[in-house]
């Protein structure tokens, strides 16, 4: 019987399950969404049972689409957004809705941690500053605002760890996810009582689960989960990955010389490093433990990518041509941008419709419009703005562009040859895209393949499962043109930041 690997990706927007053969070919993929609840400004939550049912649904659908039985699945891997949290009781039932990684109810706590010196105190242990969706900020918020919820809480989990618990009945955390929450000592790879004391949540230390390495088997599909999902009871389930790790692994990034670019809902830009700043004054990027044990992941990211293009399509293009399918409109957009030259338009688009990379209150904008510009000029500006956003983050990584031998690109932008070539032209480095469309799920499946013994290690998994789609070579004649346009883009960021200060 042919064997398959399954990866399940619980993202901030979509929940997806993909089936892969042992050569890395994507056999089937299924996806769904769970409505987001926003009970108060800054809160982003989902019903825990609805999230579990969505996972059940996509696993069932992926197995059906692949036309395989559950007992042909060799192993299951999971990935999901980092931070946020799921609070459960002794019976493993959620005592509060799932908190999504976009939640910012605890944003004021992060400011307090910075002003009081707590961030600087803990930095040598975590190599991180705090942000609102981390457990290090959320747990103090619950201590002060909903102590009755914390009293009911026996365990604090990430979302993917909660789904794994429902699949296997085995309670565990996982190192890449845990390392992102500002409560793990990155040297010892364990939760540290000192950090809980520093954040004033000593009582929560005992609520944290044991931490597994990513490619350990965390448990096996239970009879109950098998009946719900269609998987076979006893199938091993790997500990899994934080989604930024799963995406980089599926991109085949295995050394410090490769740049990983993910341009989808978020612009995620990262590389592997054996060193990380130990002094907060020298902090430049987000630092977490990576899927390769001897490396950190250095990351710079914001939600300033292709979701802005989707808004432009739905708001300004699709209403005029409702009879056309979205893929037809995408093709038209690619064709138009390809037919124009970068020097033809001076319109600038700042892709801050869903978040900012600079001032926290800055928003999106078109700048430098004239009466002679039309939607075509605005469309090219959107394409360029998304690429310039990635470029802004790459420069924030504080490594010379020439220090990378190549970049691997995934996410929605990589589906467009025009956009991928533009990325190469702007960065002036070769860009490689991947064959398959679900890198998060594939990275999780690769880890599962190592966990169950199909692959000797992650290098072996990458050799079998990572396949390059196309390679884009930078065109030197566009280097200076885009360099000048990027300077104007950076000036535009200063303008929207100034406006945010004034309003």
One domain, residues 232 and 355? no
- For 384-441, how does the pLDDT look when each residue is reduced to its tens digit (9 = 90+)? 999 999 999 999 998 888 899 889 999 889 999 999 999 999 999 999 999 877 999 9
> Could you write out the three-class secondary structure of 112-134?
HHHHHCHHHHHHHHHCCCCCCCC
Residues 206 and 310 in one domain: no
What is the model's pLDDT at position 321? 81
87 shares its domain with 208: yes
Domain shared by 261 and 165, yes or no: no
Predicted confidence at residue 282, as pLDDT, reads 65
Confidence tier at 284 by pLDDT (50, 70, 90) = low
pLDDT digits over 64-77, tens only? 999 999 999 999 99
Residues 179 and 268 in one domain: no
Q: Which letter, b or e, does each residue of 188-203 get, where b requires 16 or more Cβ atoms within 10 Å of its Cβ?
A: eeebbeebbebbebee
Pair (235, 258) in one structural domain: no
Candidate from 27-36, 168-177, 209-218, 260-269 with smallest mean pLDDT? 260-269
Residue ranges in 146-285 assigned as alpha helix (H): 147-152, 159-168, 175-178, 193-198, 223-229, 243-250
Q: Rounded distance, CA 406 to CA 424, Å?
A: 10
- Predicted TM-score of the model (pTM): 0.90
CATH number of the domain that 366 lies in? Answer: 3.30.420.40
Token match 């190599």: residue? 127
- Looking up tokens 């040598």, which residue turns up? 124
- Report whether pLDDT(370) > 70: yes
On whether the CB atoms of residues 304 and 496 are closer than 8 A, the answer is no
Same domain, 138 and 24: yes
* Closest C-alpha to 210, from 248, 161, 259, 252: 161
Of the CA atoms within 13 Å of residue 170, those in its CB half-sphere come to 20
Show the domain range for 475: 254-503
What is the average pLDDT across 357-364? 91
Rounded to an integer, what distance in angstroms lies between the CA atom of residue 9 and that of residue 326?
Answer: 24
* 249 part of a folded domain: no
The answer to whether residue 360 scores a pLDDT higher than 90 is: no
| Residue after which a domain boundary falls, among 239, 270, 300 | 239
How many domains does one find in the chain?
Answer: 2
For 258-263, what is the mean pLDDT?
Answer: 94
Same domain, 287 and 433: yes
What pLDDT score does 303 carry?
Answer: 86
Of 184, 212, 239, the last residue of a domain is 239
pLDDT band at 137 (very low <50, low <70, confident <90, very high): very high
* 331 within a domain of the structure (yes/no): yes
Domain boundary, last residue among 189, 212, 239: 239
Strand pairing partners for 349?
366
pLDDT tens, residue by residue, 442-462: 999 999 999 999 999 999 999
């Amino acid at each position: 019987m042919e064997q398959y690997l399954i990866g399940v990706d619980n993202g901030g927007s979509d929940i997806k399950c993909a089936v892969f053969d042992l050569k890395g070919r994507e056999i089937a993929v299924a996806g769904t969404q769970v409505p987001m609840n926003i009970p108060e400004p800054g809160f982003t939550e989902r019903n825990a049972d609805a999230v579990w049912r969505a996972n059940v649904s996509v696993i069932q659908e992926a197995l059906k689409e692949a036309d395989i039985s559950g007992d042909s699945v060799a192993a299951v891997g999971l990935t999901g957004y980092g931070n946020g949290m799921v609070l459960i009781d002794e019976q493993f039932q959620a005592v509060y809705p799932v908190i999504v990684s976009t939640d910012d109810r605890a944003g004021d706590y992060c400011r307090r941690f910075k002003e009081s010196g707590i961030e600087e105190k803990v930095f040598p242990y975590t190599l991180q500053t705090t942000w609102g969706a981390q457990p290090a900020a959320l747990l103090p918020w619950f201590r002060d605002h909903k102590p009755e919820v914390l009293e009911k809480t026996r365990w604090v989990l990430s979302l993917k760890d909660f789904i794994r618990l429902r699949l296997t009945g085995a309670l565990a955390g996982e190192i890449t996810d845990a390392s992102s929450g500002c409560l793990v000592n990155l040297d010892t790879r364990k939760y540290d009582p000192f950090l809980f004391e520093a954040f004033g949540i000593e009582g929560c230390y005992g609520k944290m689960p044991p931490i597994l390495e990513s490619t350990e088997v965390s448990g096996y599909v239970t009879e109950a989960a098998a009946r719900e999902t269609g998987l076979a009871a006893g199938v091993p389930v790997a500990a899994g990955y934080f989604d930024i790790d799963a995406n980089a692994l599926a991109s085949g990034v295995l050394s410090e010389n490769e740049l990983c670019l993910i341009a989808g809902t978020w612009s995620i830009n990262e590389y592997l490093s054996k060193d990380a700043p130990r002094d907060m004054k020298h902090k430049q990027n987000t630092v977490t433990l990576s899927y390769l044990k001897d490396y950190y992941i250095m990351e710079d990211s914001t939600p300033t990518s292709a979701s802005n293009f989707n808004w432009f399509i739905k708001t300004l293009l699709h209403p005029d041509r409702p009879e056309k399918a979205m893929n037809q409109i995408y093709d038209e957009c690619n064709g138009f941008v390809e037919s124009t030259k970068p020097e033809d338009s001076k319109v600038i688009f700042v892709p801050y419709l869903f978040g900012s990379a600079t001032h926290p209150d800055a928003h999106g904008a078109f700048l430098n419009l004239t009466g002679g510009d039309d939607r075509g000029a605005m469309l090219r500006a959107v394409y360029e703005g998304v690429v310039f956003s990635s470029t802004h983050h790459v420069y924030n990584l504080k490594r010379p562009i020439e220090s990378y031998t190549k970049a691997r690109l995934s996410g929605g932008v990589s589906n467009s040859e025009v956009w991928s070539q533009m990325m190469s032209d702007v960065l002036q480095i070769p860009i490689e895209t991947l064959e398959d469309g679900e890198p998060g799920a594939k990275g999780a499946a690769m880890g599962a393949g190592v966990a169950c013994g199909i692959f000797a290690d992650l290098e072996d998994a990458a050799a079998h499962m990572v396949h390059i789609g196309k390679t884009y070579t930078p065109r030197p004649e566009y280097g200076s043109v885009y360099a000048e346009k990027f300077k104007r883009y950076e000036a535009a960021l200063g303008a929207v930041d100034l406006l945010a200060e004034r309003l």
